[in-house]
Chains A and B, each alone.
Chain A
Amino acid sequence: MIRRIAPLLACLGLLVAWQLASLALKNDSFPTALEAIRAIPAVLGDKDSLVNFGASLRRMAIGFAAAVVISIPLGLLMGRSRAVASFFNPLLMVIYPVPKAALMPIIMLWLGVGDLSKTLVIFLGVSLPVIYHSFEGAKAVEEKMLWSGAAMGLSAVQRLVRIVLPAALPEILTGCRTGLVLALITMITSEMIARQSGAGNILFNALDMGQYDTVFAMIIIVGAMGIVLDALFERLRARLVRWSEPQFDIPLSFS
């Protein structure tokens, strides 16, 4: 029971800390938690902003789905074949530290400010961690299992789908979870750069216009989106890979 409500308690604690901090600072541009929460219905009640949220979520879903569908097979292939790995690794290493949302201005020049460029940026942002984790996961698959599979007459493709994929699944899902958070981050930043629609647009427009309670209300909403999406994904993940759950909840005993 305590376990289940602990995250809620943590949220509550953070909000209380916020409330106290803003009361103590008495800063015009730092509304209290209550004021920010009171501004949420105004933001959510507006039809325009709901359309914006819908657009954001749609781009994020498409970008994320496309990235996962392409990255997992690529990562698994890289993990199982040294040639494929050494073919793609340097390229990925070069791309990894580039902030994908920073490509926005360039991509905008080519594809415009519409959905296509933003979805593409989200796609790029999500694919790298997913590729990386699939790669690591596939690399760590035990050779013996593959040998047994081969001895039982599985073809290379069948081995990849029926042995490597399930064995690497925990690692792949860790990558997807990172990818989910990154998708949200990239979504917000891409909309901040191409101010045309979306949640990031509302947030940063409110900042520029000095509507601070809207800014903080949006922070709460976007944060809640992240937490809810992560919790949903975590539930899915727990169901898929229940067999591999590490038992590291037990604290080490030596004190």
Chain B
Amino acid sequence: MNGRAITSDLLLGMIPIVLLVALWQALVSFGYAPVTLLPPPGQVFSRMAQQLLSTTFQQEIAATLFRLFAGFSIATVLGVTIGLAAAVNPAVNAVVRPIVRVLAPLPKVALYPALLLLVGFGHQSKILLVTFDALFPILLATYYGASTVEQKLIWSAMAAGTPPREILFKVVLPAAAPSILTGCRIGLVISCIVVFLAEMITSTDGLGHALVTAARTFQAVDMFVPLITISLVGLILNGLLELVRSYLLRGFPEA
């Protein structure tokens, strides 16, 4: 793909977004939607710029990001460890498989009331919820990636005299890396979604709380701002993960 193709792709991709904003503007300008229900895009974006510069809003973002990162990191560490262990050890596999089978499809938001009652209304309950939700995609992707490592690779390493522990870190883990990173990507999007929802349910700060406050006072403009912010946060984090991915997978074909 050359540079010009990328530029034209980008232009093509901008069309639906521009159309959407134009439709939004048109709905307001031609009076189909009252301004109180659907504020014009200009107003929303200027409000957003103003909010991004204010310290209170920055603190909301910081609170959300802290919970998101804490939950996501714990989920990544746990998911990769358990996934690898289940892939290489039959005993662990026998225990983990049925538990994951039961817990993975469980809607974790339903657990949130239990978490609230158990660990309170602070950071912990939200971080735990993010962890629970992001854990399973990462765990399953790790397990899948590690189980499908080519046996020949392992045999070659064994023939070269690598001890089993090192095979795990030098052969299985790198070979499973693309799959693990795909799992992380899904986990990251889920973390964004869940942290926001948890803050909407009960919180005193964070982007989700900002949305609920705006909704209770019928400030339509302020309802759009947190939503656009979380979308931007998701985009930026996804971009960062993409960078990490292309760095970690630099040896892989078409990664």
Contact = CB atoms under 8 A, between A and B. Distances in A.
A97 interface: yes
A71 interface: no
B210 to A, nearest CB: 11
A87 B107 contact: no
B108 A185 contact: yes
A88 B16 contact: yes
A78 B83 CA distance: 32
Interface stretch (B51-59, B69-77, B191-199, B243-251): B191-199
A219 B106 CA distance: 10
A98 interface: yes
A13 B189 contact: no
A76 interface: no
Contact of B98 (A9, A178, A181): A9
A178 B190 CA distance: 11
A102 B234 contact: no
A193 B157 CA distance: 55
Per DSSP, are chain A's interface residues mostly helix, strand or loop, or mixed? helix
Contacts of A109: 37, 218, 220
A229 B158 CA distance: 43
Contact of A185 (B14, B109, B208): B109
A252 B211 contact: no
B146 A230 contact: no
A82 B149 CA distance: 31
B230 A99 contact: yes
A250 B88 CA distance: 9
Interface of A: 6-7, 9-11, 13-14, 25, 27, 29-30, 82-83, 86-91, 93-103, 105-106, 109-110, 178, 180-181, 184-185, 188-189, 192-193, 203-204, 207, 212, 215-216, 218-219, 222-223, 226-227, 229-231, 246, 248-255
Given A83-B12, A100-B193, A110-B33, 7 more contacts: A6-B97, A10-B101, A189-B200, A223-B111, A251-B89, A252-B172, A254-B158
